[in-house]
Amino acid sequence: MNDLLSSRTFRIGILSLGGFLLLLIGFAFGISVGERKERHFAERNQNFQGMFVPRPELMMRGALPIGQVPLSPAHGVFGKVLTVSWPSIVIEGPDQTEQEVVATQATQIRLGRGAANADQIRPGTVVAVFGIPNANGQIEAELIRLSSSGTTR
């Protein structure tokens, strides 16, 4: 048995088997990463229209001319709060498109340099939201900054 364990052929075989196992693990990891990316883009493509095309109620009430479909900003929105149904907020941007914002536990709400709370966000409040777009066409807010005047005039 000692002769087998100390033989050069056995050591080469064990090293080869170890290398093969490392390659197999790396290949499996690559497949899992690829599947995760594919799942992300498949979900995103299912909600593509909701991410970039204004809501039908805007088109029906004549807010946008037919054929003029603006792209919404991907990482934030600035405008007036239309509705608040916490944690969801609908904001009307400067081009009269509506964008849904979702607040999380990590969302910071600020008024000037100080902290603010969710109760200060009411319809008519002017806000700037910075966050990350999700697969549902919403912006997951990282920071909501209230205007110092609070509401529009």
Per-block average pLDDT, block size 10, for the chain (153 residues)? Answer: 79 94 96 86 62 51 49 70 90 85 90 85 90 84 81 47
- In this prediction, residue 7 carries a pLDDT of 85
Q: What is each CA distance from 106 to 10, 131, 140, in whole angstroms?
A: 56, 11, 10
- In this prediction, residue 71 carries a pLDDT of 47
User: Who contacts 133 (Cβ-Cβ below 8 Å, separation ≥6)?
Assistant: 51, 74, 75, 139, 140
Regarding whether 60 and 35 lie in a shared domain, the answer is no
| Tokens standing for residue 144 | 């909501």
Regarding whether 67 and 40 lie in a shared domain, the answer is no
Helix (H, G, I), strand (E, B) or coil at 139: strand
In the chain, what's the furthest Cα-to-Cα distance? 91
Regarding whether 125 and 142 lie in a shared domain, the answer is yes
Beta strand 139-151 pairing with 98-111: parallel
127 contacts 144 by C-beta, under 8 angstroms: yes
Domain carrying residue 26: 2-46
- In this prediction, residue 138 carries a pLDDT of 84
- In this prediction, residue 24 carries a pLDDT of 96
Helix (H, G, I), strand (E, B) or coil at 29: helix
- In this prediction, residue 43 carries a pLDDT of 67
Q: What is each CA distance from 129 to 18, 25, 67, 97, 149, in whole angstroms?
A: 51, 42, 28, 15, 16
- In this prediction, residue 25 carries a pLDDT of 97
Regarding whether 31 and 94 lie in a shared domain, the answer is no
Regarding whether 100 and 32 lie in a shared domain, the answer is no
Regarding whether 16 and 70 lie in a shared domain, the answer is no
